[in-house]
Amino acid sequence: MPPQISTTSLSEVVGALRRQFPLLILLSCLLNLLLLVASIYMLQVYDRVLSSGSLDTLLWLTLIAIFAVVIYGALEQARRVILSRAAGWLDGELNVPMLRRAMEVRLTGKEGRAGTRDVADLRSFYAGDAVLAFLDMPWSVIFLAFIWALHPALGVVATAGAVVLLGLALANDALTRNRQKRVAAVTKTHQENAMRYVDAGETIAPLGMAEAVFERWRRRQAEVVAEQQLLADRTTTIVSISRSLRLILQIAILAVGACFVLLGEMTAGAMIAGSIVMGRALAPIERATNAWRAFVAARSAYGNLKELFAGTSRDERDRVSLPRPKGGFVFENVFYHPPGSQEPVLNAISFAINPGENCAVVGPSGAGKSTLCRLAVGAWKPTKGHVRLDAADVFDWNPEDLGPHIGYLPQQVELLPGTVAQNIARFREVDSNALIRAAQVAGVHEMILSLPDGYEAEIALHSQRISLGQRQRLGLARALYGDPAFVVLDEPNANMDEAGDRALIDVLTTLKQLRTTVLIVTHRASVLKCADKVLALHSGAVAAFGPRAQMVRQVQPAGSTAARPSQAPPPEEPSRVLGRKKRLSAGE
């Protein structure tokens, strides 16, 4: 069995993180109280030790202060460890559910804004200094109250400074919030475009497009960098002003304190203590200003993830596991509208295939054949109607349970990073016998053995040696792995040579012997010879459906000998003739 992956939702992760905050608040309370130790120590030394000359008092005050600082260090370490572990846990719990949900959203035809970068931004926010700054900010009020207790004049200076610094932090948010979101979205899109250009090198270079493409990308990159620079300049300006203002306030509070010391209204210890405590009071506000960019990024990431998880997602945890299907397959009045479109790609599709039958799907380009294949395997969900396998809607199955019983070969074969064996075995635990049997039936066993390391060859390292036809046959081996009960093949021989065609015929013959239900899209007459039934699509509707012999007789001119299976016409001819929907009923 494959390892179980996390199905944690965003609300569960956020809820678990919030449950850590009472402890963090308690630790922050103790830590900020301990921050007063240095000020109280300074106050006592100036006002008591120096005036009394007592070394014993100095010794005990020093020991108490050192002990308090040690406790402070231990608590600070505990607080940072909690946040660091929470950030790591968030990454582990949220990444896979995010990828799963993003895949589901992409399969519906929508574009989700969330990605692994958003999870990384949330992790960085919790693991960094930003959360600590926000946890410490409320204690600025306590520190200011302590300064007021020393002398109202010092309290006025410190409070005025705190208000100005807080105003700068709010101004930073107002000036950068929208631009930060815009820049983040543009940067992400621009980076994705750059990688697409690199991947399309085999097209760009031969056609002489490189200079024009990369010049266009450079101009766009310059615009992105200019936006980022403007954003950085604004934030840096506010941070610089905040730091300068803090130093000015430090000087101002010492000056005011010295003035009142000379007037005899304050002790020197109170003056020094007030200066130290004001630094403690203003530090969280300044740190929050510095951490504002991380906070904005985390807020944007949370918004993207919340939007991603907002849609309904199929919950796999409490589903009943259905038995292995026999292969009976039915489309019941199926409609499919692409997202945002009012025109259906498939319109009232209804047909049935018995277990063990081979049904060929024919029709002109744009008839909806590939869409029908995606609906058949549950990749897309019908707008209306039902797609049933053994009387159960394919969306009622747990995909992890149904997947091993289905074989699917799309037009565009994607081989994922990993070994050849892992790709064919669908990245589950590799069964060597099933692996080799699937490769032999697909006709790629010898080709795989010719690769360095054979079945253990890394796809990424040897991708240049694998042609489109070989890639398609590897995809066919993956579709056949584990002897599925229902196989969907979307133009499986589109990139194959004559040997590949013969191998495909052998595959279909073997599947018929195994009583495997097959739905195959084809434009080649040789494949029609293996079909029990033929489904003709035209403009997204059923033009005709019935046994192969009956369908071939319907589409052949009178007296033609091409109706014989050995001389079957090319599928373009039946597609064109079958397109005359008005002359044929859907039940024929």
Q: What is the mean pLDDT of residues 143-159?
A: 88
Looking at the structure of the chain, the number of domains it has is 2
* C-alpha–C-alpha distance, residues 505 and 378, integer Å: 26
Sign for the CA dihedral angle at 103, 105, 109, 112 comes to negative
Q: What is the CATH number of the domain that holds 512?
A: 3.40.50.300
| Residues contacting 233, CB < 8 A, separation 6+ | none
Cα-to-chain-centroid distance, residue 54: 66
Residues 405 and 286 in one domain: no
| Residue 108: inside a domain | yes
Q: What is the CATH number of the domain that holds 296?
A: 1.20.1560.10
| Residue 2: inside a domain | no
Question: Of 8-12, 253-257, 414-418, which range is least confident?
Answer: 8-12
Determine the pLDDT at residue 109.
Answer: 63
| Residue 318: inside a domain | no
Residues 355 and 299 in one domain: no
pTM confidence score: 0.65
Residues 293 and 383 in one domain: no
Residues 304 and 182 in one domain: yes
| Residue 451: inside a domain | yes
Residues 296 and 344 in one domain: no
Residues 303 and 341 in one domain: no
| Residue 360: inside a domain | yes
Residues 384 and 296 in one domain: no
Confidence band of 380 (pLDDT split at 50, 70, 90): confident
pLDDT digits (tens, 9 = 90+) for 495-517: 777 777 788 888 888 888 889 99
Query: Where is mean pLDDT largest: 233-237, 330-334, 584-588?
Result: 330-334
Confidence band of 574 (pLDDT split at 50, 70, 90): very low
Q: Which domain holds residue 210?
A: 10-311
Specify the higher pLDDT residue, 577 or 484: 484
pLDDT at 576 over 60: no
| Residue 164: inside a domain | yes
Determine the pLDDT at residue 572.
Answer: 40
Pick the closest to residue 99 from 253, 268, 286, 305 (CA basis). Answer: 305
Residues 155 and 279 in one domain: yes
pLDDT digits (tens, 9 = 90+) for 94-111: 887 888 777 777 766 666
Domain boundary among 285, 311, 337: 311
Residues 200 and 335 in one domain: no
Residues 217 and 74 in one domain: yes
Alpha helices per DSSP H over 377-493: 399-402, 420-424, 432-442, 445-450, 468-480
pLDDT digits (tens, 9 = 90+) for 51-87: 777 888 888 888 998 999 899 899 989 998 998 888 8
Residues 18 and 127 in one domain: yes
Percent of the chain with pLDDT over 70: 88
Mean predicted lDDT score pLDDT of the chain: 80
In which order are the strands placed within the sheet that holds 392-393?
346-353, 329-336, 384-389, 392-393
Specify the higher pLDDT residue, 302 or 200: 302
For tokens 């300064």, what's the residue?
Answer: 147
| Residue 573: inside a domain | no
Alpha helices per DSSP H over 46-115: 50-52, 55-107
**What is the phi/psi pair of residue 492, to 5°?**
-70, -20
| Residue 135: inside a domain | yes
Residues 335 and 304 in one domain: no
